Amino acid sequence: MKIRENVSISTLTTMRLGGEARYVVEIEAPEDVNPAYDLSQEKALPVFVLGGGANTLGRDEGYDGMIFLNKLRGIEAREEGDDLILTGMGGENWDDIVAYACERGYTGIEALSAIPGTLGAAPVQNIGAYGQELADTFVSLQAFDRETETVKEFTREECDFGYRRSIFNTSKRGQYFIMSVTLRLHKGEMTGPLYNSLQTYLDEHAITARDPQTIREAVTAVRAEKLPDPTTTPSAGSFFKNVYLSKGEAEVAAAKGIPVYTNGEENKVNAGWLIEQAGLKGQLLHGIRVNEKAALVLINESASKFADLAAARTEIRQAVLEKFGYDLTQEPVEIV
């Protein structure tokens, strides 16, 4: 366990904003977790658990508490017939987990390639892309409960997954430190219709194969074309959540010419499309650039304060609300 004092949050998050955190604690082994929480109680300070910092924002006032960085590493896997049961520690890089599965020919998470962050953070917001979600392959996770000081195992049902949500960012936010995650993957390939941008890429490159490695390479290429690399270009990934509509609301939206994507009982409108149609694509607002290739992504081009981002966020939400009547919801969480 490593402890640092007065660390700039801008160095821990990919948006590169935020004041100082009073303490940053690196959790490097399972036996570090309990003592780390004991230390926070001794100092009477709140705790915020951080993975790769790709979906997290720091505020100008910083954080008068302890940020725990999940640095737990290790991967174990076993085969069960045509399935692979894969367990990774929470600090493992998410994309490394995807690569591990795809290299061995297992499907289930290949469409989630190139999403920045850690494995431990993935179930918190139930990451998803191109028709796949973490919940689709999730088996269980183990997490330290700071209230009982014990390690608890959670099933998929207990996590209560939804669109970019779980109990870990809603009803039980801040109570658990995710130590490991177990997934069940299947030998095979993606089936059914693919997202338009992914299918277009395959068609343009005359690719008909759908094995995990091929889809992984295609998704990585599509994302690289549209999305900035947060390790070199400050951003927080998708900044707003897509808008989900009831059947009746979807019918009204479609009648107005708004494209609605329907999958089973779900009806959604792409937030990036709304921002683009509001005339904001490529615009620079308070030092924050609305990405020219994917309007859902905000890039920190010259902003030095969270207040700049907040002002840009307000303008974008207001523009979409005035034009379409939809109030966009921010996806990244804030360290508070």
DSSP string, 124-166: TTT-EETTEEGGGTEEEEEEEETTTTEEEEEEHHHHT-BTTB-
Q: Are 271 and 240 in contact (CB under 8 A)?
A: yes
- Tell me which of 158, 249, 331, 334 is the catalytic residue: 331
- Is 265 labeled as catalytic in the residue annotation? no
- Tell me which of 16, 59, 146, 164 is the catalytic residue: 164
- Tell me which of 20, 238, 276, 289 is the catalytic residue: 238
What letter does residue 64 receive in the DSSP assignment?
E
Which of 75, 1, 79 has its CA nearest to residue 40? 1
- Is 238 labeled as catalytic in the residue annotation? yes
Cβ-count burial 265-293 (b if 16+ within 10 Å, e if not): eebbbbbbbbbbbbebbebebbbbbbbee
For residue 198, what are its two tokens?
Answer: 């992914």
DSSP string, 297-313: EEEESS--SHHHHHHHH
322 HSE (CA, 13 A, CB side):
8
- Is 158 labeled as catalytic in the residue annotation? no
Q: Which residues are annotated as catalytic? A: 164, 238, 331
